[in-house]
Amino acid sequence: MDNEFTARRAVTVADVARAAQVSKAAAARALGGYGSVSDAVKQRVLEAAGRLDYRPNELARTMATGRSGTIGVIVGDIENPFFGSAVRGISDLAAASGFDVILSNSSETPSAEKASTRVFLAKRVDGLIVAPATMHDGAHLADALGQGCPLVLLDRDVPGLPVDVALIDDQAAAREATGLLIASGHRRLAYITATSVVDGRYSDTGQIVLTTVQNRIAGFREAAAAAGLAESDLRIRLGASTTAQSQEILLELLRAPDRPTAILSSDSKIALEVFRAARAVGLAVPRDLSLITFDDAGWTSAVSPTVTVVSQPSYRLGYAAARMLIERIGGDKSAPRRCVLETALIRRESVSPPIAADAVEGRARTP
């Protein structure tokens, strides 16, 4: 049974050296491309390596050098297209710079994120890119830093952690989107987001674990305040993580007599749920309900009506994070940087003025 699919002992530098009749050190130098080797020896070694089908053991190399040529990435949910695209941005630059990427999913769970951090550190990654699941616990991240492992935060910030971050200006983006809704004549507005909380009702900021969510809500309220809307005109709902949760929240909202006439949704999955809920209660978008969502998902520009979105540069965010990290790995010791990328409000068909019955109050105020 010694066919071509049977395992055989791996061939090492020592084997190659013996076959090429040179010392182990010489063979290692020729194979590793460092130090100085005569052309003659190099020839012999390379020939022998080819003949024996030698494959370097990256692990042994890492142990000896301390560098693994690998960067670890931890995101909340790889199924989320936002992260999928960010990861591709990271991978592309990493590959071009000679780094491998190893990826882990935290499922937006701080404990899983901690475990992954530990594993990556144990595997001696050269650096870490993390989209932290919470802004409240950065101990494991500070820890990585403490061990001398460069770290860059992606999309979300952890206040107090002195590291590079690549993110967007969520507050400004939400403010602009909300402004568009208000400019279209809406005054009863809702903001729906997926962050996990004790109680879906927005009560105090203490519940929020993500800086992105915090900032978007701030932008939402800021725009409302600037337009003179009352707090009571605003519906802020957290906890729309699953279809069931989203429907519960949305149906309650849309069935109320003073239902919102416009919704700002924090991701495209929730926007989908808005369509579903609107259909369930017999509301048409945008005639009865206007909608803007974060994330320029593919379907938003293909379906009817096409949906107005806040487009986030996810690929470039990943790319920027990788760029900063690789600079740090290269020895850059400068002060932590914030790389803030631009979003774009793409106007499509899902926003229109509220119909008379719904807007009556609003009209009275703006004659």
Contact set with DNA (CB under 7 A): 9-10, 12-14, 22-26, 28-29, 31-32, 34-38, 40-41, 54, 56-57, 60-61, 63-65
Least gap, CB of 244 to a copy of itself (angstroms): 14
- From the number of C-beta atoms within 10 Å of its C-beta (0-12, 13-18, 19+), residue 125 rates as buried
The whole-angstrom separation of Cα 295 and Cα 300 is 9
Query: Which region holds residue 35: left if phi is over 0, alpha if psi is between -120 and 50, else beta?
Result: left
Per partner kind, with CB cut-offs from 5 to 8 A, the member of DNA, a copy of itself, none near residue 105 is a copy of itself
Per partner kind, with CB cut-offs from 5 to 8 A, the member of DNA, a copy of itself, none near residue 12 is DNA
Least gap, CB of 117 to DNA (angstroms): 17
The whole-angstrom separation of Cα 275 and Cα 296 is 16
Which residue is it, tokens 């519960």?
248
The whole-angstrom separation of Cα 185 and Cα 162 is 43
Per partner kind, with CB cut-offs from 5 to 8 A, the member of a copy of itself, DNA, none near residue 79 is a copy of itself
Nearest CB to a copy of itself, comparing residues 68 and 245: 68
The whole-angstrom separation of Cα 120 and Cα 161 is 19
Nearest CB to a copy of itself, comparing residues 70 and 212: 70
Nearest CB to DNA, comparing residues 3 and 36: 36
Nearest CB to a copy of itself, comparing residues 105 and 340: 105
Cα Rg, the chain, nearest whole Å? 27
- Is residue 88 within 8 A of residue 318, CB to CB? The reply is yes
Applying CB under 8 A, the residues found at the interface with a copy of itself are: 4-8, 10, 55-60, 62-63, 68, 70, 78-79, 81, 84-85, 87-88, 91, 100-105, 118-119, 121-124, 142, 145-148, 162, 269, 272-273, 275-276, 279, 297-299, 301-304
Q: Token pair of 37, please? A: 């080797």
Per partner kind, with CB cut-offs from 5 to 8 A, the member of a copy of itself, DNA, none near residue 301 is a copy of itself
Nearest CB to DNA, comparing residues 63 and 344: 63
Least gap, CB of 167 to a copy of itself (angstroms): 20
Nearest CB to a copy of itself, comparing residues 88 and 363: 88
- In 53-181, at which residue ranges do the beta strands (DSSP E only) sit? 70-75, 100-105, 127-130, 151-154, 164-168
The whole-angstrom separation of Cα 367 and Cα 357 is 15
Least gap, CB of 210 to a copy of itself (angstroms): 21
Q: How are beta strands 151-154 and 100-105 bridged, if at all?
A: unpaired
Least gap, CB of 16 to DNA (angstroms): 8
Burial 260-283 (b: 16+ CB within 10 A, else e): bbbbbbbbbbbbbbbbebbeeeeb
Per partner kind, with CB cut-offs from 5 to 8 A, the member of a copy of itself, DNA, none near residue 6 is a copy of itself
